[in-house]
C-alpha cells in the first residue's frame, strides 16, 4: 500500500533554532500533503495544506512565517519550524491522499515528536 | 463549531468483549465520508474503516464495524472480541465534499484500554 515516510521521528532542539521535518511519499505521487499538529492527549489539528508547485494554504491561526512549508516535488513536502520555542513542542504528522477514489483514506507518516528546550 | 464529537474520553474494556465508540458529526453537505483511525502510543495513525454518506450498508472490516445512522448523524465504531493490542486512542474523522481529496477533521478521540 501507499507509504508516507516522515523524518525525523523525534528531535530535540534549543530555543531559537529551526527544525526541518520531511515527508516523502514512497510509492506514489503526492501533489498534496496535509500537516497536522497534535498536543499530548489531544486531537489532530490541521495546520496547513501543501501543494506541489504552489504556495501552501494555512489554517486560521497558524503563523505562516513560523511554520514554513515547501512542496518542492511530487514526492517531498517539508515543514520547517523557525525560531522554535518551548510552546512549539508537539507531535507533528503529515499525511497524503491515497490514489484512486476520493474515498481513499489519508496515508499518514509516523509523526515527529519535537521537543524545544 | 465542532464538526466531530466523541463524547467518551476514555473506556476500559475486558479482553474478548465488544466495545462501541461513539461519534456524532455535523455537516450540511450531502456528500461526505467518515473514517476511523487508531493511534497507538507510538503515534502512527492506522486507518480502520470508512463509511460514505451514500453507502447503503454499514461498513465492516474484520473485527471492526461501523454503526452508521445517517438521520442521527452518528457513526459509531464497534470493535468485537477486543484484544490487548486494541489498547490505543481512537479517532473519528470526517471529510466533506468540498475537500474531496483532502483534509480530515478529527474528533477529540477516545482512549481505549483493554484489560486481561
DSSP A59-84: PTT--TTTEEEEEEETTEEEEEE-S-
Per-residue pLDDT in tens (0 to 9) along chain A, 117 residues: 678 999 999 999 999 999 999 999 998 888 889 999 999 889 999 999 998 888 999 999 999 999 999 998 989 999 999 999 999 999 999 999 876 666 778 889 999 999 999
Contacts of A102 in chain B (CB under 8 A): 33, 95, 100-101
Contacts of A107 in chain B (CB under 8 A): 47
Give the pLDDT score at A72.
Answer: 85
Give the pLDDT score at A27.
Answer: 85
Give the pLDDT score at A102.
Answer: 61
> Looking at the complex, does the CB of residue A108 fall below 8 Å from at least one CB of chain B?
yes
Nearest to A28 by CA among A112, A113, A104, A111: A104
Q: Name the percent of chain B lying above pLDDT 90.
A: 84
Give the pLDDT score at A104.
Answer: 76
**Residue B60 scores a pLDDT above 90:** yes
Nearest to B4 by CA among B104, B89, B78, B112: B104
Nearest residue on chain A to B55, alpha-carbon basis? A103
Segment B4-33 shows an average pLDDT of 95
Beta bridge partners of A10: A113
Show which of residues 50-89 on chain B sit within 8 Å of chain A, judged by CB atoms: 50, 52
| Closest Cα in chain A, distance from residue B109 (Å) | 6
> Looking at the complex, does the CB of residue B47 fall below 8 Å from at least one CB of chain A?
yes
| Closest Cα in chain A, distance from residue B17 (Å) | 25
Give the pLDDT score at A100.
Answer: 61
**E runs forming strands in B22-100:** 24-25, 32-39, 46-52, 60-61, 64-69, 74-79, 88-96
Q: Which residue has the higher pLDDT, B100 or A42?
A: A42
Nearest to A79 by CA among A98, A58, A97: A58
Nearest residue on chain A to B111, alpha-carbon basis? A41
* Contact: B47, A105; criterion CB under 8 Å: yes
Nearest to B112 by CA among B73, B76, B83: B83
Q: At A93, list the grid cell.
A: 504528522
Amino acid at each position: 500500500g501507499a507509504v508516507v515516510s516522515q523524518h525525523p521521528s523525534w528531535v530535540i532542539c534549543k530555543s531559537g533554532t529551526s527544525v526541518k521535518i520531511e515527508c516523502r511519499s514512497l510509492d506514489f505521487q503526492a501533489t498534496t500533503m496535509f500537516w497536522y499538529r497534535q498536543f499530548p492527549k489531544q486531537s489532530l489539528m490541521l495546520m496547513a495544506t501543501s501543494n506541489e508547485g504552489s504556495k501552501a494554504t494555512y489554517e486560521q491561526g497558524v503563523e505562516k512565517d513560523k511554520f514554513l512549508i515547501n512542496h518542492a516535488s511530487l514526492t517531498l513536502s517539508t515543514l520547517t519550524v523557525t525560531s522554535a520555542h518551548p510552546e512549539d513542542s508537539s507531535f507533528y504528522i503529515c499525511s497524503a491522499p491515497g490514489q484512486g477514489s476520493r474515498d481513499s483514506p489519508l496515508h499518514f507518516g509516523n509523526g515527529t515528536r519535537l521537543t524545544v528546550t | 463549531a465542532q464538526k466531530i464529537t466523541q463524547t467518551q474520553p476514555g473506556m476500559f474494556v475486558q479482553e474478548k468483549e465488544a466495545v462501541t465508540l461513539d461519534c456524532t458529526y455535523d455537516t450540511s453537505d450531502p456528500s461526505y465520508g467518515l473514517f476511523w483511525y487508531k493511534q497507538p502510543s507510538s503515534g502512527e495513525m492506522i486507518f480502520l474503516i470508512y463509511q460514505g454518506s451514500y453507502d447503503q450498508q454499514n461498513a465492516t472490516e474484520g473485527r471492526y464495524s461501523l454503526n452508521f445512522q445517517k438521520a442521527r448523524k452518528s457513526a459509531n465504531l464497534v470493535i468485537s472480541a477486543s484484544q490487548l493490542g486494541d489498547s490505543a486512542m481512537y479517532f473519528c474523522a470526517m471529510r466533506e465534499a468540498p475537500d474531496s481529496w483532502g483534509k480530515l477533521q478529527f474528533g477529540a478521540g477516545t482512549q481505549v484500554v483493554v484489560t486481561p
